[in-house]
Chain A
Amino acid sequence: MPAEIRQIGLAVTHQRLMVLMLLFMMVTAVITGKLGYFAVHGLMHNPAHAASGFVPPRADIVDRNGEVLARDIDAWSIGIHPDALVNSPEELAPKLAQLMPERTVAQYLQILRSHEKFTYLRRRALPELVAQVNALGEPAIEYLREPERLYPQTTLAAHVLGYTDFNGNGVAGMERALNARLIDPAQRNTPVALSIDSRVQAILEAELSAGMMQQRALGAAGLVLDANTGEVLAMASLPVFNPNTSGQTSDDARRNNVTQSVYELGSTFKPLTFANAIDTGTVTNIAKRWDATAPLHVGQYTIHDDEPANRWLNMPEALVHSSNIVTAQIADQMGQQKTMSFFTRMHFNEPPRIELHEKGRPIWPKYWARTTVMTIGFGHGMAVTPLQLATGYAALANGGILRAPTLLKLNPGEVPPGERVISASTSLLMRKMLRLVVLQGTGERANVEGMRIGGKTGTAEVPGKHGYNKHANVSTFVGVFPLDAPRYVVLTMLDQPKGSAATGGVTTAGMVSAPIAGRVIARIGPMLGVLPDMNRDIDVSELMPLLWHPKTEANH
């Protein structure tokens, strides 16, 4: 019997020991499991967490050198809980109206008596104002930190950057075009690099602004474009606006004159027409002379030159003297089909191809009469954006490849695919002719020693209700530099300049826009690695004999 009892006792003890052992095993398993979890979790989570750092609610926008152009900061907002008011509305309303005068006392009273749960009194408040409102001692007023989009460079590249609404959504410019990318949680830690160079942008804006003020022009536009890649280094539209206070800006100022406004850009079209005429075989010999002795009468229209040469001109002379009569004859000989086909390949029949949503639609002729073809040859009868013209000049200068312009920075060495619109040999010939225009023609005031600039002026009368206004011009200069190895296209345009004492009241592009381009190039060239060199230039010696000078002039 006692043996049986001991047996049972032993069994119970074994059982208890087993339970105890299982318990210990479980505890050990739990701890080991947790250690394992820490090990794995630590490996997988910590490094990522350490690397993530601060993630802004909206990605920064920087220029091509990494300089910040748009960034989110923490701003103050002032709100109120009218249902939890401690002070009387009658007492509080006048004080609020005094500090924040955008609302009247009556409006504040209405808010304070509304018994709403919460309403904003001021978004984007300055810290000083927050301190003053806080000093009123009303517990129902709440102060919030909210992300606010700040543009540290204020008006710089405002039309490129655009702005956001109060909720942080892009409503204009690249803020709008890249909105999805900027708020994407996976990408917003990485800034978006634009192709803009803020140094170049600042210089372009400063010189354009000085020119616009001097000429009392209505507006201005400027562009610096990489001729080989299509990157936009600077895009300026005047008048400017401050994207930090976009709500207080007029529609006129918000308009991007480079991509939204379309203009008849006048004689700046001539080099394009000439290139097309050479490429299509219409002109096989540039030394051939064309009659410019008298204005050209076609139907009821008369085409005349602003500064008539009253003699026969060859192609380089026609460009140097900017002869409408010769260009019209060449365009006429080329015909409608070739002209239309060329400008279609140039994409002048559609809005500019760029990331921005603010684009203007060119005015493309509905009916191509004989006179239409002739006038389009010298830039009347078709209106395009300055961006499209500059893109066309890039193709004219870079060997003939047309590339869509872009506002996004490309990787070093990256060259987007393009379309051949002009042959390489014609491109070289046109570069030489553009150089002649700056050396001896209407673009002389754009010349800068050693910078090898070529370009063309264009002075177009502004169309009004009763035909063209003879006293209002759009004066444009498009330049390319350095012409021996083209890198940049610079466009400067003044809308309706009034003239100044310095220009003797003259408002032609050669007098008002070309000097601005010259000053811009002199300043940006060295920054962009194009140093003035007096010992280099494009060889124009073969064209020089084609330019005839009166004997008295030639003797000098």
Chain B
Amino acid sequence: MIAQRFRSIMWASGAALAATGLYLVSVQVSAEHKRLAEINHQIDVTEHDIRMLDTELATRTNWRQLEKWNSDTLGLSTPSAAQFVGDTTALARFDPAKLKGAPEVPVAAMASVTEDAESLAAAKLQDKAQSLSVPETATVTAAAPDPVAAPVSEKLAQAQPPAHKGQAQRHFEGTSAVTHLVMLDDALREALHGKAQR
């Protein structure tokens, strides 16, 4: 009986609760909307700042300035036709000593190991090992460093400018034989290094 009498009140309060809930959702949406607008505004401000910084950078490094630095400070000049190579074969055959106006210095910039040279070195070492009567296992451990590599390093050290001396020596450590090769790119250098290590 009491439940019957309070049913309408319960309906009313239920509806009120639902309405309040819906209103809260609406408020929540509104708040989110506002936050989104703020973030959008921040993005706009940041984009504007980025534009300003970009512009400042472009102004400071404008082409006139770069041209001045290139010619006056760095003394750069236009590469000649002979300095352009069309493919890897031409790159491998490239010899800077043959360029017009190249300085008269011995050139031995880099080196590569060939299969033939490696087997030749191994054969030489084996001969030496036999003559010294050292067991075969000892030949392998002793093979890498000494006799063949050392003179090459010295020769390179003479040929290279002082600044590159260390690098050249590092490169040839453990190398059993060398052939001249110039203008190696990084990948080629790594491949050679790997081979030398092997």
Contact = CB atoms under 8 A, between A and B. Distances in A.
Interface residues of B, number: 39
Given A71-B55, A154-B62, A154-B64, A46 B36 contact: yes
A24 B16 contact: yes
Interface string B38-59: 0010011001100110110011
Given A27-B19, A206-B67, A449-B81, A54 B40 contact: no
Contacts of A199: 63
Contacts of B86: 531, 533
A42 to B, nearest CB: 7
Interface in B20-79: 22-23, 25-26, 29-30, 33, 36-37, 40, 43-44, 47-48, 51-52, 54-55, 58-59, 62-64, 66-67, 71, 78-79
A150 interface: yes
B19 A31 contact: yes
A327 B82 CA distance: 38
A532 B62 contact: no
Given A38-B33, A532-B81, A71 B23 contact: no
Contact of B22 (A28, A153, A154): A28
Contacts of B44: 53-54
Contacts of A38: 26, 29-30, 33
A20 B8 CA distance: 11
Given A53-B43, A68-B55, A156-B64, A450 B78 contact: no
B12 interface: yes
Given A53-B44, A526-B79, A153 B58 contact: yes
A35 interface: yes
B63 A53 contact: no
Contact of A152 (B22, B25, B62, B66): B62
Nearest to B15: A24
Which secondary structure dominates where chain B touches chain A? helix
B84 A532 contact: yes
A56 B54 CA distance: 15
A152 B58 contact: yes
Contacts of B29: 35, 38, 42
Contact of A73 (B23, B52, B66, B67): B52
A37 to B, nearest CB: 9
Interface string A480-501: 0000000000000000000000
Interface string B136-179: 00000000000000000000000000000000000000000000
A43 interface: no
15 contacts: A24-B12, A24-B15, A24-B16, A28-B22, A34-B26, A35-B25, A38-B30, A38-B33, A53-B44, A73-B55, A74-B52, A153-B63, A156-B62, A519-B78, A526-B79
6 residue pairs, one from A and one from B, having the closest CB atoms? A202-B63, A450-B81, A532-B81, A449-B81, A152-B58, A31-B22
